[in-house]
């Protein structure tokens, strides 16, 4: 997700498609940049996995943002709320590693005014790819379609606020905050 941060940490996952022999030749190079190198199948299958993974990520970031926002508005301390969620059934990568609520974790975009990380426009692009692919296959994506609409609104607001700015996709949380007059 955050290629710079995850690359430094060696936690990038490379989802590769193509012939077995090509994958075998490329794998040592990819292992220099990440620890999870996966051969997904024939050409194109890596893209399928990436789109599906980012569809899930975009939806889960929205759910974590909305849940954290509701809990904070109902009086919970954000760090305590996240701690409980992260030992309960709501735990996911968006909550336990990349929490969108400022003050919960250091060294994530929400701690840096959502600078760096995986841009909202990139998440919008991946969500659109998933929704378009589903449409072509006749596969319903009700949550994916709703999440895509949210990322489109967030990206549009960013361009109105500061043209050219592309905050991390976890800005979803901040987007839910009351607008200041």
Partner residues linked to 17 by β-bridges:
41
Q: Would residue 50 show up in a list of annotated catalytic residues for this protein? A: yes
Report in angstroms the alpha-carbon separations of 10 from 53, 79, 96, 97, 115.
19, 27, 18, 15, 21
Closest Cα to residue 85, out of 67, 102, 72, 101? 67
d(CA 44, CA 119): 23
Name the active-site residue from 50, 73, 115, 157: 50
CA atoms within 13 A on the CB side of 105: 17
Residues marked active site are found at 50
């Amino acid at each position: 997700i955050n290629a710079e941060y995850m690359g430094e940490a060696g936690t990038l996952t490379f989802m590769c498609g193509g012939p077995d022999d090509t994958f075998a030749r490329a794998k040592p190079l990819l292992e220099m940049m990440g620890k999870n190198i996966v051969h997904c199948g024939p050409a194109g299958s890596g893209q399928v996995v990436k789109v599906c993974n980012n569809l899930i990520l975009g939806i889960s970031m929205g759910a974590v943002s909305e849940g954290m926002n509701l809990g904070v508005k109902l009086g919970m301390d954000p760090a305590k709320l996240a701690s409980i969620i992260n030992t309960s059934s709501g735990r996911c990568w968006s909550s336990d590693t990349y929490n969108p609520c400022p003050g919960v974790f250091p060294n994530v975009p929400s701690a840096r005014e959502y600078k760096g990380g995986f841009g909202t426009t990139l998440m919008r692009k991946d969500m659109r790819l998933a929704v378009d692919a589903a449409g072509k296959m006749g596969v319903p994506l009700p949550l994916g379609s709703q999440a895509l609409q949210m990322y489109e609104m967030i990206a549009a607001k960013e361009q109105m606020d500061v043209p050219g700015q592309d905050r991390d996709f976890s800005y979803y949380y901040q987007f839910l905050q009351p607008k200041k007059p």
